[in-house]
Amino acid sequence: MPALASSVPPPAVRANQHIYDEFFEEEFTRTIDENILQVLDRVWFRSELVGFDNFPQRNNPDRPLIFASNHSGMAFPWDAIVGLAHLFRALPSRRDMPRPLSAPLLSQTALMNPFLLRDFWRKSGSVDATTLNFETMMYYNDYNLMLYPEGVPGIGKGFNRKYQLQRLATSMVRLSLMHGTDIMPFYTINAEYLNPYAYSWDWINRFTKKIGIPFLPLTPLLLLVLVQPWAFYLALPAKLVFVMGTRIRPTELTGKKHDELSRDELLALSEQIRQRMQVELDAAVRAHGQRPYRWRELWQRLKENRRYFPFFFPFAWPAVFTEFERLYVREGRRNFRMQLDRPGAFWRMVWRNPITLAYFIPLLGWIPLAIKGYRNHSLGKKAAAHRAK
């Protein structure tokens, strides 16, 4: 077996260990799940975990497992929100829970947080996916690690390539070998139907990245986004299925140390893993991806949970997320229940949070949302600095 990394983190990693707890609030994760995400999941997304009963344990007790999933592409990442929230409430041990590495663009502006809920990703445990952060999180033993190794190309690959795995990051292979920890693939099925028939072009995405949006999906729903800003976060009611794959041990695929492998050898190992994952992904799609919406099941869930109307419908999500921000962030409340089943709850939320109305104003509604979305975030600071010059 190749030699493993030292148990003592290098200086750069030690200096970066503030990322473990700098933003993460487990109480935030629990509270937003109990007040919002459980209702959305139970009715709208109806997520299902397949093969998670015997949850995989670490082969190296001193290092986190690396969980890796595919991107379906071209939708706001509700699949990651729903899947990780489901795991959060289902796993008996927090040490089993994977903390995600996420695209840095998701945290640069409030606009890329659901309904401008500031620092949603970071408070929920996400860490910006940089090389240093990845290396640092490999020394963090309180949780496992979660990543989407296709990266941004996986997000923007378009509906026509929805289940074609893109090239996987070689850093996943290198760090797995370096720390002697296994890779646990799991497969996200039906998430591409949250925003179906969406495509993208690189020249457009190069522009949108400059304003903090990783890609712009060109979809039949795009016109709705202009006239109803809440549709920027819209998700159709696809049933999300998460299928556990077969454990991958990169240490068994090579006899070399991680620092002895050339770039071409790392790419070859990464491609070998991608092909293995592609075979399992295709099988998962055949088993669980033939009826993405399950309309009869959806109708049954709507009837069973009718007392929560209208909060399971996407047009009501701006109100409930904005109200949550008011209670948890601005007023600092804890251990509260939003009582979504009370008559008139939706209208009371709109009354308390007038910014909610902007989500329903055609075109002009984007002005106050953009002001709030870019205020005090990195892109806004860059713009202010540029004006100062």
The string of pLDDT tens digits covering residues 15-60 is 999 999 999 999 999 999 999 999 999 999 999 999 999 999 999 9
Give the pLDDT of residue 158: 79
Give the pLDDT of residue 108: 80
pLDDT category at 382 given cuts 50, 70, 90 is very low
pLDDT over 60 (residue 385): no
What is the pTM (predicted TM-score) of this model? 0.91
The string of pLDDT tens digits covering residues 102-115 is 988 888 878 889 99
Which residues sit opposite 186 in a β-bridge?
Answer: 69, 244
Looking at the chain, list the stretches that DSSP marks H as alpha helix, in order from N- to C-terminal side: 11-15, 26-32, 38-40, 78-90, 105-108, 120-123, 131-137, 151-155, 170-179, 202-210, 222-227, 263-288, 295-304, 317-324, 345-352, 366-374, 378-388
More confident residue, 157 or 187: 187
Q: In what order do the strands lie in the sheet with 144-147?
A: 48-50, 241-244, 183-189, 66-69, 144-147, 98-102, 127-128
Spatial CB neighbours of 321, under 8 Å, sequence gap ≥ 6:
36, 114, 115, 116, 117
Mean pLDDT of all residues belonging to the chain: 90
The string of pLDDT tens digits covering residues 50-75 is 999 999 999 999 999 999 999 876 77
User: Peptide bond preceding 310: is omega within 30 degrees of 0, i.e. cis?
Assistant: yes
Give the pLDDT of residue 377: 56
Give the pLDDT of residue 214: 67
The string of pLDDT tens digits covering residues 252-278 is 999 888 889 999 999 999 999 999 999
pLDDT category at 386 given cuts 50, 70, 90 is very low
Q: List, in order of start, the domains of the chain with CATH numbers.
A: 11-220+236-296 (3.40.1130), 306-388 (no CATH)
Cα of 143 vs its chain's centroid, Å = 17
Give the pLDDT of residue 380: 45
The string of pLDDT tens digits covering residues 236-246 is 999 999 999 99
- Ranking 13-22, 44-53, 175-184, 369-378 by mean pLDDT, the lowest is 369-378
Give the pLDDT of residue 212: 65
Give the pLDDT of residue 232: 92
Distance CA 182, CA 100 (A): 16
Give the pLDDT of residue 389: 37
pLDDT over 80 (residue 355): yes
